[in-house]
Structure 1
């Protein structure tokens, strides 16, 4: 297995595609972005290894975001590779018009509920119109968590890991006696993957993502190969660090409500993240909503219309706790 680094202008850092070609079959996990220049870069990286797009037999995608699936169509068109993705994400990757219409409707609903200003919504819909997905999409083969595949003698198991995306799948394998996992954006070495905004289809996004992190920590993998940047040599520690990060963020959300009183998701986002631009106009309120929704279900936050406030008695509890972290239950 080899990691192929592909440039990406996004804040997460360079994309990774993972090549399996030590045997009769050639396969990729993720394909990089469809932005200008990405295709030429992947072609050159493969050519340096004596491989053409037409040589690729199977593509395994971690989730539906464009910087991971961008070149799947071009690869499939040249060699008839099968493209595998979790069933929850398959309609989006396949360019299904109904799936994209449903996504757009959900985005409109949440953007209004979160009180994202009109100019911010215009920016987001300009970035997320779905047209890149519906033009020449690949034919996809849906998979489920627990499905197994063998590539050149290596058994790979798909592990459903929702939170950042509804159908995000990791792929775990034993390689040369080491327990390895390809995490996509479920676990990143530098940034904490966005929850809430990155895929508005996910119900209870923070709860699902915390479950995913817990499973990663408990699995005690030897190494994680993320969708961006360098390998993670201690996936358990990294997963636990991100859990701790979300505990800290929940405290900050509660503190914002204590200081500001009842307020919208957008107001909480502004308190946490300040002014936002580009895709962060989505990620800030999405992350804030994920925490507010989680805290509401725990009974420490109440919602009235599109505003959230501390539940009765919580402010006194917060004062008593002082700088202790509010636990995520």
Structure 2
């Protein structure tokens, strides 16, 4: 697509049939003569997605073998799954934030640590053993990683030149430890490829999406504050279409999490509960990936409240200790963003 607000040609490929947050959006840059052909994310390592991506790139006259560089927003398979296959055809480097790089590259120690953390947390959350078995079986059966690429790690602030624009790596943790957006100057102001840090319809999961994130809700609230402060004029998310008011969308998600925190406190008003029991009150019956995401997000909220001294924890169980808490200090003031 050629968008007068961008000042350059941007290829947008929508990949249908993806789970979780809906169809993936992959972005192709460097279509100008002599520019570095750059792909932001790749979609899952599955046959239907592979066909969709090949067909989508073909509309811009580009094949897997002609990709010069891949920039990944984070390690999840629905964003990184085809990176290894594209690299095998083109020899292109695959860049990803240093915190997520070991998982994308398949480092045995990192994968083992993540698996151990997952098993430990789903027990800490109070998940019944039969649901643990169901979740682990689902995760094994739904692996969409594909072949592992050789990865090139980077840190926040790195810039990537693409034709007449520079992409700046902006660290946006919360959904994963290393989630990174890529900011650039459009005609009407700064824009960003936001990955799953900012989505147009769903609120990105925190707590379950990456069990490595310490203080997941606090980390994500800081990311949302950063998006607002940066004043992006448009965001290009990892799923579905562009977000025309990133600050307003970020503020909406902050409000959403404050309301969810209030609901968590309402649940605890009836007595102590585990994260699994809290998630059942918040989300009802859970299946597939939501067996992980539900209690993970409940735990992220409980952990945030515990850090503020509003709830206390005894093993797997959380108890409300402040009957009339002030939640204002727990959430950024986003009144100026809406």
- What is the match of residue 301 of structure 1? 311
Shift of 1:177: 4.7
Indicate how the Cα distance of structure 1 residues 117 and 181 shifts in structure 2: closer, same or farther if over 3 A, else same: same
Shift of 1:45: 1.1
- Say yes or no: does 1:17 pair with 2:26: yes
User: What TM-score results when the alignment is normalised by the length of structure 1?
Assistant: 0.93
Contact 1:8 1:33 in 2 (8 A): no
- Corresponding residue number in structure 1 for 2:220: 209
CA contact (8 A) 2:54 2:64 kept: yes
Instruction: Tell me the alpha carbon deviations over residues 254-286 of structure 1, each in whole angstroms, 9 at most, x when there is no partner.
Output: 111002x11111111101111100000001000
Contact 2:15–2:49 at 8 Å: present in 1 too? yes
Q: Distance in 1 between matches of 2:233 and 2:215?
A: 29
Which position in structure 1 is the counterpart of 2:245? 234
Partner residue of 2:274? 264
Question: Structure 2 CA distance, aligned partners of 1:18 and 1:167?
Answer: 19
The residue that corresponds to 1:73 in the other structure is 84
Contact 2:191–2:232, Cα closer than 8 Å, also in 1: yes
Could you list the runs of 5+ residues in structure 2 that have no partner in the other structure? 1-9, 332-338
Tell me the CA shift for residue 127 of structure 1. Answer: 3.2
What root-mean-square deviation, in Å, do the aligned CA atoms of Structure 1 and Structure 2 show? 1.7
Q: Is 1:289 the counterpart of 2:291 in the alignment?
A: no
1:94–1:133 CA contact under 8 A, matched in 2: no
Distance 2:147 2:243 in 1: 34
Aligned equivalents of 2:129 and 2:233: distance in 1?
46
- Which residue pairs with 1:154 in the alignment? 165
How far, CA to CA, are the matches of 1:173 and 1:135 in structure 2?
30
CA drift of 1:308 comes to 0.3
5+ unaligned residues in a row in structure 1: which ranges? none
Query: 2:264 aligns to what?
Result: 253
Give, in angstroms, the shift of residue 40 of structure 1: 1.1
- Alignment match of 1:273 (pick from 283, 286, 296): 283
Q: How far is 1:209 from its partner?
A: 0.2
Query: Is structure 2 residue 46 aligned with structure 1 residue 44?
Result: no
Preserved CA contact (<8 Å) 1:251 1:326: no
Q: Deviations over 1:96-148 (max 9, x none)?
A: 11111000100011010101112221122123349957863100000111111
The 3 A distance-change label for structure 1 pair 194 and 135 is closer
Say which of 90, 95, 98 aligns to 2:109.
98
Note the alpha carbon deviations across 1:182-224, whole angstroms, 9 max, x for none: 1000000000000000000000000000000000011111100
Tell me, yes or no, if the aligned pair for 1:95 and 1:133 is still in contact at 8 Å.
no
Tell me, what secondary structure is at the counterpart of 1:37? Answer: helix
Tell me, yes or no, if the aligned pair for 1:6 and 1:38 is still in contact at 8 Å.
yes
Q: Is the 8 A contact 2:159 2:169 kept in 1?
A: yes
* Number of residue-to-residue matches in the alignment: 320
Q: Distance in 1 between matches of 2:176 and 2:32?
A: 31
Give distance in 2, aligned partners of 1:177 and 1:247: 32
Is contact 1:216–1:239 with CA below 8 Å preserved after alignment?
A: yes
**CA deviation after TM superposition for structure 1 residue 179, in Å:** 1.4
SS in 1 for 2:152: strand
